[in-house]
Amino acid sequence: MQKESNKGSNLALIATMGALHEGHVSLIKRGQKECSQVIVSIYVNPTQFENSNDLINYPKSIDDDIDILNSLNIDFLFIPNKELMYPNGLVSKVFDLNGIDEKLEGAMRPGHFQGVATVVDRLFELTQPDKAYFGLKDFQQVQIIKKLSLIKGGTPEIIACKIIREDSGLAMSSRNSRLNVKELKAAASIFKALKFAEKEVKVFPTPPAALIREMKSIINSTGHIKVEEITFAFSDNLDVINDPDFPLDHYNKKVHCFISAYAGDVRLIDNHFIC
C-alpha cells in the first residue's frame, strides 16, 4: 500500500518584497516540505513605508529573483500591480490589532503595521493560502499577522520561521545589499550585542540600563553602525520593559530584545530572545 503524503492539497504562501536571499529560500523550502504547492508573491508595498526615500531606495532585483525561484521549482509566482492590490487607491485599512501595532517598531513608524496588515490581508484574499510562512527577523510583524489571521477566522495558518543569519551573525535582509564592505562587516556587531545581553543575563542579575549602555558601545564603536533604539520587551505581548534598574531575569517572563540601527541611511533591525 502506498503511504499517503501528509501534505494534502495545501497551498503555502511566501509573501516577499523581492530582492530574495537565503532567508526567503528557507521559507520556500519549508513551504515545499509541508505543503503540496507553493506560491511566492513579490510586491513592494507602498503603504508600509512612512519614509518615501526608503521606498524609492528599496532594493529590486526581479530578474535575479525569478532565476532563484526557477531553481527552486516553485509552483506559482505572483507579481501583482498597484491597481490589483489597491483598487480603491493607496490607503491602508484599519484593523483592530490589540495595540500591538503601536508598540516598539509601531511607535517609531506610525501606520507601518496597518500598511503591513492591509497588504497581507489583500494577498490572503487573492491567493487563498492554507499556510503562510514569515521569518522571525520581523518578530513584531509575525505577531501582527497572527492577529490578522485570527480576525479572518484562523485562516491561513501562520508559520513563524527562525531567523537566517550570515556566518557573521548578521540577520539576512534585502537591505543588506545596500551596505558597503565596511558597513557589512560592522553590522555583525548588532547580533554580537544581542548575544552579549543574553550571556550577561545568564551570569548576573543585570538591569536593562547597564545592558543597553554596553550594547550601544559594542555597536557604535564600529564607527559604521549607529544605534537608533535598543528595547527590552516581554515576548508574549510585546509590552516594553521600562524599569531601567530591575533585572530582566526577575520578571519570570520571557524577554526579547529589539534593536534598530543605521548604516548610513540604511535601517537595520534585529531581535533575540534574552531570558
Q: State whether residue 50 is helix, strand or coil.
A: coil
Beta strands in 26-109 (DSSP E): 37-42, 76-78
**24: annotated active-site residue:** yes
Local structure of 230: helix, strand or coil: strand
Interval 126-153: pLDDT, tens: 999 999 999 999 999 999 999 999 999 9
pLDDT given for residue 9 in this prediction: 74
Q: Which CATH number fits domain 11-161: 3.40.50.150, 3.30.70.3280, 3.40.50.2300, 3.40.50.620?
A: 3.40.50.620
Rounded to the nearest 5 degrees, what angle is found at the Cα of 153, between the Cα atoms of 15 and 49?
Answer: 35
d(C-alpha 234, C-alpha 34), whole Å: 30
pLDDT at 168: 97
> CB under 8 Å to 164, separation ≥6 — which residues?
21, 22, 23, 26, 135, 137, 171, 172
Assigned CATH topology for domain 174-273: Pantoate--beta-alanine Ligase; Chain: A,domain 2 (3.30.1300)
Question: Which residue in 21, 24, 112, 272 is the catalytic one?
Answer: 24
Q: How many CB atoms lie within 10 A of CB 134?
A: 21
Question: pLDDT class for 1, splitting at 50, 70, 90?
Answer: very low
> Given this model, what pLDDT does residue 3 score?
34
Amino acid 191 reads F
Q: State which H helix or E strand residue 159 sits in.
A: strand 157-161
**pLDDT band of 6, cuts 50, 70, 90:** low
Q: Alpha-carbon distance 147 to 139, whole Å?
A: 13
pLDDT one-digit tens code per residue, 253-267: 999 999 999 999 999
Q: Give the pLDDT band of residue 16 (cuts 50, 70, 90).
A: very high
Q: What is the pTM of this model?
A: 0.95
pLDDT of 236 above 50 = yes
Tens-digit pLDDT profile for residues 160-198: 999 999 999 999 999 999 999 999 999 999 999 999 999
Q: What is the mean pLDDT of the chain?
A: 96
Domain boundaries, the chain: 11-161, 174-273
Asked whether residue 238 carries a pLDDT value surpassing 60, the answer given is yes
Of residues 260, 176, 184, the one with CA closest to residue 222: 184
Is residue 61 pLDDT above 80, yes or no?
yes
Residue 132: strand pairing partners: 13, 158
How confident is the model over 212-233, as pLDDT tens digits?
999 999 999 999 999 999 999 9
> Which residues, listed in sequence order, are joined to residue 269 by a DSSP beta bridge?
260
Question: What letter does residue 240 receive in the DSSP assignment?
Answer: B
Examine the pLDDT at 94 and tell me if it is beyond 50.
yes
249: exposed, middle or buried (C-beta count within 10 Å: 0-12, 13-18, 19+)?
Answer: middle
